[in-house]
Structure 1
Amino acid sequence: MLLAATILGGLCAGQAQADTTLRFVQTNTSDESLAVLNTLIKKFETENPGVKVELISIPWDNSFEKFATMIAAGDIPDVAEMPDNWVALYANSGHLENLEPYITKWEHAGDLNGRALELARKVKDTAYVIPYGFFVKSLYYNKKLLAEAGVAGPPKTVDEFMDAAKKVSALPGKFGYCLRGGSGAFNGWAMMGAAANGDNAFFNKDGKSTLGDAGWVSGFQNQIDIYKSGWAPKDSVNWGYKETVAGFYTGTCAMLDQDADVLAPTAEHMAQDEYGVIPMPKGKNGKSFPILTYGSWGIMAKSEHKDLAWKFLTLIDGPETDPIWTKAVGALPVFKSAEKDPAYADPKYRAWFDTLADKDAIPTITPAYLPEYSLFAGSTAVKLGQQALLGQITAQDLGKQWGDILSKAQQKYLAKK
């Protein structure tokens, strides 16, 4: 009877796994990333007979709204890609599983670099996600357009950047800067503001936002001036990731601030000697403040297959497979062992490693730990930024309104803490 029960139990367990479908939402979509994921999914399904992974790929520009709609409708996946500014929202609302018990037992946890775990634990000092890679902004530049405009070389300061943008825009049908006014725009505003301010602290010691301060506002004015002066395309007020990247590699505009993920699409359309990448231009006090973000994977708290979901998560985010993924999406690796990968010896990566090594290039980490930040960055900041570009509000109004929103969120956060 014991033997029969054991056999029956094993058959039932096998049947349960055979009937299991893991639903997986991914937002960093491109041909390269989807090819890697499909390969890793097949590997996982082969190693776990009977298990099916359903990949739900959501294009980045509409991902926040579409994923929020899924969750609100109760359409909950098992594993989901979590951009850094989503983590606090879904962790604080109880939608993300605490991964600390899994990390404690994970054999590769010690190979994660310190920054990865630090960022993973930004909410309640608890890892609700496992980062898969870092994204650091650098400046792409079109060598031919700069030369045609009489610009001697890529700009190393904000003043040189503004001058180069002006000169390129004097060329017929060309523009100096691929300004991002639509989805994801706040990062560009923040870098320009911090560079003019000489500091990237979003709050003072009392928890009040600094975005309304004169330094920040002067940087916001630079961004507005670029658009109002015609140094960026008129429709760039609505541009998101795809439009800015296409604007660069088609030669519409000469400069673009982006992560290493743009190397792949740019290389498909431009020869290697037609463009370069340098660290972000420096502003006040000789400092720059490139945005540092990260991508991550999380397990949804309502998943009925958490252990299997963790098994899948660590297959796609392990020290052997993660470098394959980070190369596809243009991220810097999170595993210490992966940093020795020869792929990162490509000279085009030099700008990002130089940035991380430069004491005057201070990474800016947005306050994504605030539950309200995802809505702010994904919607509110974009709409207000567009109003400023179109002359409907001033740079001072913009800084004040952004500051008021973030101050309220920070005060609420500090009160609970």
Structure 2
Amino acid sequence: TWLSLYANNGLLESLEPYLAKWEHTSGLTDRALELGRDVNDTAYMLPYGFYLRAMFYNKKLFQEAGVAEPPKTMDEFVAASEKVSKLPGKYGYCLRGGPGGLNGWMMFGATMAGSNKFFNDDGTSTMNSEGWIKGLTWVVDLYKKGLAPKDSVNWGFNEIVAGFYTGTCAMLDQDPDALIAIAERMKPEDYGVTTMPKGPGGKTFPTIGYAGWSMMAASQNKDLSWKLIETLEGPEGNVEWNKRTGALPVHKSAEKDPFYSSEQFKGWFAELEDKDAVPTVMPTYLEEFAFFKDSMVIKTSQQALLGDITPEEMANQWADYLTKAQQKYLAKK
């Protein structure tokens, strides 16, 4: 979220000289190095793990509501949500209407539009195109029809995960880090993880995010900083770290680890292998992205969910803001 702002303003040290000499650089996945070099093709960050959205579903609630199998399309998702929501005190979907809610809007917007292209060639945003507006409206309608809990307009990570493991709602889109709390509280046979539902075009666009290590340019102890980074990022440290944080590791060798060959992780690896599930990186290279994600989107999406503005008005506000940011970025290039 903040990499572009810090890196573009000279606050981060390039890790390229260290990577050039490091024995484990070649063992990192291509995607890890590509994302770490998001700004000016320079490794200002070394991702430690991937956060890829997939769909958790509650098998017991599905059975109770008469839902035969996890939904494969957005239409089936709505139908399943309607059946579950007829059960007293139960809902179809754990909506993240509060902090960190951008991913859901982006995924469902792109999936309904059939494309994860955020901008046209001239830098104008696609957010207020017909397909995107349909996707944003689809999310608002889920909430307005009562297919998500009323207070989910304010829910963040902890609330949606708790909403799932308490059996309040049957479906949740989340990264592997949600597994930690869910696996502690639910029996493995009571829930599954599957690919995000596909749109009218037969594709789905689950967001892929990452967190990682950077070195401040002002550091007085750069060699020591690198020593810490290489310890945490090395094959042993990285797998151990991600087992505790819940992200997917960045080393090619990690998939062979017994921990990641478990039934629970199959959903993510299957999604990664599905040619119609296209991992989508949000436009984090824009310096303005952080404000958009953490402030503007939360305020306007809550207004749309509560009916204070229309999904179209929200889409126009998002498009105006992102168009200015993208055109500024293109002008600099």
The verdict on a shared fold, with TM-score over 0.5 as the criterion, is yes
2:159 aligns with 243
The one-letter code matched in structure 2 to 1:211 is: M
Question: Which structure 2 residue ranges, 5 or more long, are not aligned?
Answer: none
Give 2:125's match in structure 1, choosing from 209, 213, 218. Answer: 209
Residues of 2 paired with 1:274 and 1:342: CA distance?
22
Residues of 1 paired with 2:153 and 2:39: CA distance?
33
Residues of 1 paired with 2:255 and 2:49: CA distance?
11
For the pair 1:291 / 2:231, whether they are aligned, the reply is: no
2:16 aligns with 100
Checking the alignment, whether the CA contact within 8 Å between 2:48 and 2:213 is kept in structure 1 is: yes
The one-letter code matched in structure 2 to 1:105 is: K
For the pair 1:390 / 2:306, whether they are aligned, the reply is: yes
Deviations 1:157-208 (A, max 9, x none): 1000011111111111111100001111110001111111011100011111
Residues of 1 paired with 2:298 and 2:213: CA distance?
25
Q: Which structure is richer in relative contact order (CA contacts within 8 A, separation 6 or more)?
A: 2
Aligned length: 333
Deviations 1:219-259 (A, max 9, x none): 10110011111111111111110000000001111100001
**Displacement, 1:150?**
1.4
Deviations 1:306-358 (A, max 9, x none): 11011011111111110111122222121112222121110111111111111
Residues of 1 paired with 2:85 and 2:255: CA distance?
39
Alignment of 1:18-417 (within 5 A): 85-417=1-333
**Displacement, 1:285?**
1.4
The one-letter code matched in structure 1 to 2:282 is: T
TM-score by length of 2: 0.98
Residues of 2 paired with 1:148 and 1:336: CA distance?
41
Counterpart secondary structure, 1:408: helix
Counterpart secondary structure, 1:209: coil
The one-letter code matched in structure 2 to 1:165 is: S
Deviations 1:80-104 (A, max 9, x none): xxxxx11111111222211111111
The one-letter code matched in structure 2 to 1:290 is: P
Checking the alignment, whether the CA contact within 8 Å between 2:161 and 2:178 is kept in structure 1 is: yes
Counterpart secondary structure, 1:139: strand
The one-letter code matched in structure 1 to 2:294 is: G
**Displacement, 1:120?**
0.7
The one-letter code matched in structure 2 to 1:410 is: Q
Counterpart secondary structure, 2:285: coil
The one-letter code matched in structure 2 to 1:229 is: K
**Displacement, 1:107?**
1.6
Residues of 1 paired with 2:208 and 2:200: CA distance?
19
Q: Percent sequence identity over matched residues?
A: 58
Residues of 2 paired with 1:162 and 1:200: CA distance?
22
TM-score by length of 1: 0.79
User: Any runs of at least 4 consecutive aligned residues in structure 1 with deviations exceeding 3 A, and if so which?
Assistant: none
Residues of 2 paired with 1:95 and 1:174: CA distance?
48
Residues of 2 paired with 1:164 and 1:377: CA distance?
29
What RMSD in Å do the two structures reach over aligned CA positions?
0.9
**Displacement, 1:414?**
0.7
Residues of 2 paired with 1:295 and 1:197: CA distance?
28
Q: Which structure has the larger Rg?
A: 1
Residues of 2 paired with 1:338 and 1:187: CA distance?
26
